[in-house]
Structure 1
Amino acid sequence: MGRLNIDVHATARARRGYYGMISHIDAMFGRLMDALSDSGVSENTLVIFASDHGDMMGERGMWFKKTLFEPAIHVPLIVGGLGIAQRRVATPVSLLDLLPTLVDVSGAPAGTICTPFNGQSLVPLLHGGSKHDPVMVEHLDGGTDAPRVMLRDGDLKLVLSRAYPTMLFNLSDDPFELNDLASDPAASNDMARLLAKAHEIWDLDALAIDKHANQTARTVVNTALQTGRPQVWDFTPGTLAQNSNYVRSGDKFPDVERRSYLPAKVRR
């Protein structure tokens, strides 16, 4: 399939569909909140609403999530209940913070999480605090050729990879990430500080080696499972195994997505 020329009308229709899905989720979430209230448990229930990723909806000509620009990594995070006052918190945080937050809210003693983890409790922010560690994001999924990482410290955002130019943005005055400050002498101190912090967290060369080894191992396993009598790579009980929307061995992800598409209405 070649490149498609997606004009402004197709972009508008796609975004209307996207916003429509958001409206539907909002309505369903409202029904859940009503059910909690009607059941009399809303006052002693912590409610967290989040998403796993965003999406590029035509920005920069992109129509996917596999990038570290803001539309693809920005997600909603709404926390309410248990006496938490309504406020908007501007401090950047991460989904990695949810585990320690839930442990903290539960009243479990320090040290309850006995395995290594990233993230920190959001409880101080929920009650008016402002201090939080820089936010980390990694892009390492299946077909990634070179790992990409992002470090967000306040309004400053560093994007780093061995295969792509380093980028630095100040999102307070450049929310659309159009002004790369990586080579700006005026931002050299911030650049050096964030680079040093990123290299403390990630060894990109070692990460690339681990990534390649993992991809190679999974390719070998998949090839073996498809040799002779084919075997699926996982176990799924019940009717889910026959679900046409579920990615099975031998499936290509775009093909699975297309099976779920609704018929398009062609406008003349």
Structure 2
Amino acid sequence: MPPTRPQDPPPEAGYAAGFASRYDDWFAPAAGTENTVALLVSLTKEAPSGPLLELGIGTGRIALPLAEHGLAVHGIDSSPQMVARLRSKPGGRDIPVTIGDFAAPPADDEPGEYALVYVVNGTFGELTTQADQLACFANAARRLRPGGFFVLDAHLPEALATVSAGTEPVNNTGQDFVLRTRSIHPARQHYVSDYVVLDDDRLRHVRVTFRYTSPGELDLMAAAAGLRLRLRTGGWSGTPFKDSSTYQVSVYELPA
């Protein structure tokens, strides 16, 4: 008889609990981080004065470089493990972070506190219902100072439809072997990323579900929250948004 192998656990609900220490290796290529930080810094020059708020601050990949630019950054995240990783980095203990749901403000959150609210790396899509995404827009608008910006990024649905099938390796700066399979589910307006990780000679499976949105749907959500589109680019590098774009960054403004 063949040797008995331990059964792999069912798909984990997310990546935060088991892989917070490796998140930066997998999802933080240097160019992507630099471009994101550069665009956000440029937007602060057009926004009113005030602190920034990152929804889903995670390990501080974006917040810490922004703080190094002299900007006051606050954060919200649902994962204590990811925030612990942030705290372990230089300057990480200086950033105020609330543990909780980034779609809804804490009870003691003051309205009109922030010059800029942002959510990056597709994290907005981890709100998997339209109601939660609408609530995120509404609460971002509530937190903004007049003239402030709400910034988010997302895949374009048309691009997801053409590249959804198949499995590909995740390039990372560590030594992990990671494969990702992405599937699209139009009936639910979801796409699912299944990650298989070789971890100490054992395969682990992590599944992350996202709700995809078209630019038009995002604009309607923004309008419902009292926001208007200020800028849309084809990515964090600031490339123009056009028919060939596969990704988008939208900047919404709370009218002064």
TM-score, normalised via structure 2 length:
0.25
Q: Which has the larger radius of gyration?
A: 1
The structure carrying a bigger helix percent of its residues is: 1
TM-score, normalised via structure 1 length:
0.24
The structure carrying a bigger strand percent of its residues is: 2
